[in-house]
Structure 1
Amino acid sequence: MLTLLTYPAAFGLFSGSPFCVKAAYMLELSGQSWQRSDMLDPRKMPHRKLPVLRTRERLMPDSDTIRHWLESQGANFDQGLSDIQKGQSRALIRMAEDHLYFQMVADRWCNDQVWPHLRDTFFHEIPRFARGFVSGSIRKSVIKGLDMQGVTRFSEAERLDRVEQDLTAITAFLWQSPFLMGERPTSADLSVAPILAAIRATPVRTELRGRIERDQVLSDYIDRVDQAIVLK
């Protein structure tokens, strides 16, 4: 049986990481037998991050690599899509994973109101006497990475404006059909919906979380994907 190494459930979601949710969605749609195994410290994993899929042969890191392997085993997440739709799907995935995701991370890790919730959820295995120092050091590293990525070089108003453009693009697809590419979930939904869900699940009601909560189209879409692909 395949084993998905994943961050534990957090804030009411299958996992604290939308990429782990994406991998679980793919496994569920693939028809493969699989189980989850939770962990908080990925430093010994390939790429030092999660998700990782354990097969009989190896540990497979990264949700895109997991997708390619599942497709090599017969899964088809974009069945029936035209080449243009597949190109649109790839663009939506990259927009969500390379832009929206980092906006979510900044909204959480840079916010002093959100941070205590993250610290006590993601670092609860660390003894309390050392938790503040260890988690604080990791937080500084994450914030430094966000600065290098560039997302935190914008003001909050500028960041929200950039997010708004992404959300407008996503909503344009959802006026046409229940899922991004039609009547059933495809690969774009497996990336976009978990990131929107993670934003909505932020444990403090930030402006970004409120933006998703107030949007009936996006909120219904998140719930629709979750209902269409029921995770264990």
Structure 2
Amino acid sequence: MLTLLTYPSAFGLFSASPFCVKTALMLQHSGQVWQRSDMLDPRRMPHQKLPVLRTPERLIPDSDLIRDWLEQKGAEFDQGLSDVEKAQSRALVRMAEEHLYFHIVLDRWGNDEVWPILRETFFTGIPALIRKPASNAIRKSVLKGITSQGIGRFSLPERMDRVERDLEAISAHLWQSRFLLADQPTSADMSVGPMLAAMRATPADTPLTRRIKQDNLLNSYVDRMEQAIPIA
């Protein structure tokens, strides 16, 4: 049986990581028999990140590499799409995973209201006596990475303007069909849906969470994704 190594459930989602949720959606959609195995410390994993798929032969890191493996086994995530639509799908995936994702990270790790919740959710394996200093050091490292990536250099209004343009692009697709490129979920939905769900689920009232919760189109889309491919 295949085993998905994933971060645990959090904030009402299959996992706190939208990449782990994406991979679970792909596994469920593919028809493969699989199970989950939760972990908090991925340092021994091939890329020191999650998700990782354990197959009978090897460990496969990274959601895109897992997708490649599933497609080699016969999965079709973009069935019925034209070449142009598949290109659009790839662009939507990259927008979600290489831009929107970092806004989610900053919204969680850089927010002093959210941080105590994250510390008690993600770092329970650290002894209580040293949990605060150890987790604060990890937080500092994460925020340094976000600054190096670039998102952390923008003011909140600048960040929200950048997010808004992406959300408008997503909404333009959703006005045309039930899902981004078709009337059933495709690979783009398996990336974009979990990102929007993660934005909505952040355990504090932030401009980003409010933006999703107050948008009927995006809210209903997230709900449709959860109903279309149940994984919890």
Shift of 1:37: 0.2
Quick one: percent identity of the two aligned structures? Answer: 67
Q: Residue type matched to 1:38 in 2?
A: D
Counterpart residue number, 2:154 = 154
Shift of 1:194: 0.2
Shift of 1:127: 1.3
Which whole-Å CA distance do the structure 2 matches of 1:189 and 1:178 have between them?
11
Aligned residues: 232
Counterpart residue number, 1:107 = 107
Q: Residue type matched to 2:129 in 1?
A: F
Q: TM-score by structure 2 length?
A: 0.99
Map 1:140-219 onto structure 2 (within 5 A).
140-219=140-219
Counterpart residue number, 1:17 = 17
Q: Residue type matched to 1:155 in 2?
A: S
Shift of 1:173: 0.2
Which whole-Å CA distance do the structure 2 matches of 1:216 and 1:125 have between them?
38
Counterpart residue number, 2:50 = 50
Shift of 1:146: 0.3
Shift of 1:126: 1.1
Shift of 1:144: 0.4
Q: Residue type matched to 1:108 in 2?
A: R
Which whole-Å CA distance do the structure 2 matches of 1:107 and 1:29 have between them?
30
Counterpart residue number, 2:131 = 131
Shift of 1:107: 0.9
Which whole-Å CA distance do the structure 2 matches of 1:134 and 1:71 have between them?
40
Which whole-Å CA distance do the structure 2 matches of 1:80 and 1:136 have between them?
48
Which whole-Å CA distance do the structure 1 matches of 2:46 and 2:210 have between them?
35
Residue by residue, what CA displacement relative to the aligned partner does 1:76-98 show, whole Å, maximum 9, x if unpaired? 00001000000000000000000
Counterpart residue number, 2:224 = 224
Give the unaligned 5+ runs of structure 2: none
Which whole-Å CA distance do the structure 2 matches of 1:86 and 1:150 have between them?
28
Residue by residue, what CA displacement relative to the aligned partner does 1:40-87 show, whole Å, maximum 9, x if unpaired? 000000100000000011000000000000000000000010000000
Which whole-Å CA distance do the structure 2 matches of 1:10 and 1:32 have between them?
24
Q: Residue type matched to 1:110 in 2?
A: G
Which whole-Å CA distance do the structure 2 matches of 1:174 and 1:3 have between them?
33
Counterpart residue number, 1:94 = 94
Runs of 4+ in 1 over 3 A off after TM superposition: none
Which whole-Å CA distance do the structure 2 matches of 1:136 and 1:130 have between them?
10
Give the unaligned 5+ runs of structure 1: none
Matched, 1:118 2:118: yes
SS in 2 for 1:163: helix
Which whole-Å CA distance do the structure 2 matches of 1:22 and 1:66 have between them?
10
Q: Residue type matched to 1:103 in 2?
A: H
